[in-house]
Amino acid sequence: MTTGGPSIGVAVIGCGYWGRNLVRSFAQLGELVAVVDPATEIAAALAAEHGAEARELSEVLADHAIGAVAIAAPARQHAELALAAIAAGKHVFVEKPLALRVEDAEEVVDAADAAGVTLMVGHLLQYHPAFLALVDLVERGELGDLRYLYSNRLNLGKIRREENILWSFAPHDLSMLLALAGEEPDEVVAVGSTFLSTGVPDVTTTHLRFPSGPEAHVFVSWLHPFKEQRLVVVGSDGMAVFDDVESWDTKLVVYRHGVEWDGDVPMPVKADCEPVALKPDEPLRLECEHFLTSVRDGSAPRTDGREGLRVLRVLSAAQQSLAEAEPARPGGDDAGDGRFPGVMVHESAYVDDDVRIGPGTKVWHFSHVLSGSTIGADCALGQNVVVGPRVTVGDRCRIQNNVSVYDGVTLEDGVFCGPSCVFTNVYNPRAEVSRKDEFRSTVVRRGATIGANATIVCGYEIGEFAFVAAGAVVTGDVPAHALMVGTPARRIGWMSHEGERLGDDLVCPRSGRRYELNDDRLRPVDGP
C-alpha cells in the first residue's frame, strides 16, 4: 500500500518494543527503506521481513534518497538523534517525549524551523478516530463551556525502572488535555507514590488549572488490577467519555446530563448515553500517514514540535512538583526532628548539629548521624546505623541495619548497603595507635549494591551498578557492573542496572537493556 504522491523514503531508528510497530506501519504505507538499531541481528531480521535494508545511522543520514527518519530510540537519545537528522536535512518523526529537558526540546524545534523540515512528535492518541470526533464535539460547542476534564491510564504493567509512571504513561493524556483546552495550564500540581523501585513513582496524579477556567487531572498507574484508558470531558451543556477499552460502537459516548435548581438546591437531571458513530481505523497508521502528508505538502502536523514542547513543559512542571512536594501532616509538624522538614527521625535516633538531610529520608531506631555529614533525599537508614562524621550519602540510598559509614566513605545516589556490611577507613588499624591522618577514601558509585556482611577495605572504588555478594571482602577497585564474590573478592560475571546477572548475550532478562564489553569493561549499548 502506498499513500500517494512522491516517494519520501523513511528510515526507522530504534527497533525495540514500539519501533517495531513504526517499522510495520511505514512498510504498509510503502515508505520504509531502512531500519537502524545497535542490535544488528534484530535490525537485519526486521529489514528482511519488511523489504527494507538494515543500515548504520551514519549511512542513513548521508543518504539523500532517504527523506525522513522516525526515531523510536530510548527517550534520553531523542534530542540528540533529532538534531543529527535535522542537520542532515531529514524530516523527523520522534516518539514521545520530544526530549527529557525543555531546553533540549527548544533547541530541536528551533533547528527544525531553521532547516525548514517537518518535525512531528508521536502523541498517538491525537490521531485516534474517537479523540478526533471528541475534539470536533468540543470545537462545535456541543458540550458547552469546558468545566472539568480528567484522564485515567491504568494497568498492571508495563513496569519500568528507568523512567517513572508520569513520563511513561502521562504524555499522551497531557497531549489530549492541552488540545481540548486549547491553552497551556498556568498551574500544575503533582503527587505520587513509590512502591517498587526507589525514586521511581508507580502512581501519580497531576492536577492542571487553565487560565480560562477549566481544570483537569491525569491519574496514571502501572499497579492497577485492570486496564483502564478513559478520558472524560465535562461541559456546561453535556459530558463526553472516550473509553479506549470499549468496542468501537461505544468508544465515544455523550451524556446530555443537566442540573436544575430547586430554590438554592442543585438537582441532577440524568439522560441516557448517546454513542457517537466512528469509522474504525488504526491510530498508528493514521499517525504515520499524517506525517507523510505533512512532509509532502509542507503543512504543520497536528502534533508538531511546538505541541511536543508544550507537553514537555507540563511534564517538567509536574516532575518538579513531585520532587518538591512536602505534604502537611494532620495535627502538627513532620514526625521526628523538626530541623529537617519532610524527614522522619525516630525518637531513639540522634542527629548532630551541622548535618543536612534531604526530604523523604527516614532515620530509624538507635541510629546516629554525626556532624558535617550530608544525606540526600528519599534515603532509609535502618536500625543501629552510624553515618559520619563528614560523610556524604547521595539520594535514594538504602543502608540496612548495623552498618557504620565512616569518615572517608562516599556513597553516590542509589547505593544499597546490606545488613552488617563493613567499611573501613584505615588500612592497618591498631587500638593503641592513632591513625586519623592516614584515612583512605572509599567511593561507592551510583547504583552499586553491597551484600550483607561484606567488607570493603578502604582506599578503593566500587564502580557504578557493581554487585558485591554477601560475605565478600573487597581488596581492590571494582569495575562498573561487576559481580564480585569470595575472599578476596573476584569477578565472576556482570550485572545489569536492574540487578540481574547477565548471560553470554549481555542482555538484561528484566529490562531487555543490551550491553557490550570493551577492554574488559562493560557498558550499556542503550544509554549511560
| pLDDT tens string 50-63 | 999 999 999 999 99
Nearest of 82, 71, 88 to residue 37 by alpha carbon: 71
**CA dist., res. 116 & res. 14, Å (int):** 24
| Mean pLDDT to the nearest integer, 449-474 | 96
Angle between helical axes of 19-28 and 283-297 (0-180°, round to 10): 60
Q: What is the dihedral of CA 196, 201, 202, 208, to 10 degrees?
A: 170
Instruction: Return the pLDDT at 3.
Output: 56
| pLDDT tens string 341-388 | 889 999 889 999 899 999 999 999 999 999 999 999 999 999 999 999
Q: What percent of the chain is predicted at pLDDT more than 70?
A: 96
**CA dist., res. 61 & res. 36, Å (int):** 11
Instruction: Cis check for the bond before 227: say yes or no (omega within 30 of 0).
Output: no
Q: What percent of the chain is predicted at pLDDT more than 90?
A: 75
Q: 275 pLDDT exceeds 50?
A: yes
| Mean pLDDT to the nearest integer, 86-111 | 95
Q: 336 pLDDT exceeds 80?
A: no
Cell match 569470595: residue? 486
DSSP letters for 383-394: TT-EE-SS-EE-
Exposed / middle / buried, residue 470 (Cβ in 10 Å: 0-12, 13-18, 19+): middle
Q: How confident is the model at residue 526 (pLDDT cuts 50, 70, 90)?
A: low
Instruction: Return the pLDDT at 425.
Output: 86
Q: Characterize the bridge pairing of strands 68-71 and 10-13.
A: parallel
Q: Please state, rounded to an integer, the average pLDDT across all residues of the chain.
A: 91
3-class DSSP assignment, residue 86: helix
Q: 46 pLDDT exceeds 50?
A: yes
Nearest of 236, 248, 234, 256 to residue 276 by alpha carbon: 248
| pLDDT tens string 124-134 | 999 999 999 99
Q: How confident is the model at residue 270 (pLDDT cuts 50, 70, 90)?
A: confident
**CA dist., res. 118 & res. 112, Å (int):** 7
The phi-psi region of residue 372 (left if phi > 0; otherwise alpha if psi is between -120 and 50; otherwise beta) is left
Q: 333 pLDDT exceeds 50?
A: no
**CA dist., res. 303 & res. 473, Å (int):** 55
- Please tell me the least confidently modeled range out of 149-163, 195-209, 488-502: 149-163
- Residues for the chain: how many in total? 528
Q: Do the beta carbons of residue 448 and residue 465 sit within 8 Å?
A: yes
| Mean pLDDT to the nearest integer, 161-181 | 90
Eight-state DSSP code of residue 461: E
pTM assigned to the model:
0.63
Q: In one letter, which amino acid is 128?
A: H
**CA dist., res. 415 & res. 446, Å (int):** 6
Measured CA to CA in angstroms, residue 517 lies from 61, 292, 528 at distances of 27, 39, 14
Instruction: Return the pLDDT at 331.
Output: 39
Instruction: Return the pLDDT at 162.
Output: 66
**CA dist., res. 377 & res. 393, Å (int):** 9
List the grid coordinates of 32. Answer: 520504509
Q: 332 pLDDT exceeds 50?
A: no
Domains (range + CATH), the chain? 10-117 (3.40.50.720), 126-282+312-324 (3.30.360.10)
Instruction: Return the pLDDT at 193.
Output: 86
Alpha helices in 116-264, H assignment, sequence order:
129-139, 165-181
Other residues' Cβ atoms within 10 Å of the Cβ of residue 247: 8
Q: Characterize the bridge pairing of strands 223-235 and 146-156.
A: antiparallel
Instruction: Return the pLDDT at 325.
Output: 61
Other residues' Cβ atoms within 10 Å of the Cβ of residue 147: 14
Q: 329 pLDDT exceeds 50?
A: no
Q: How confident is the model at residue 340 (pLDDT cuts 50, 70, 90)?
A: confident
| pLDDT tens string 227-250 | 999 999 999 999 999 999 999 999
Q: How confident is the model at residue 271 (pLDDT cuts 50, 70, 90)?
A: confident
Alpha helices in 257-301, H assignment, sequence order:
283-297
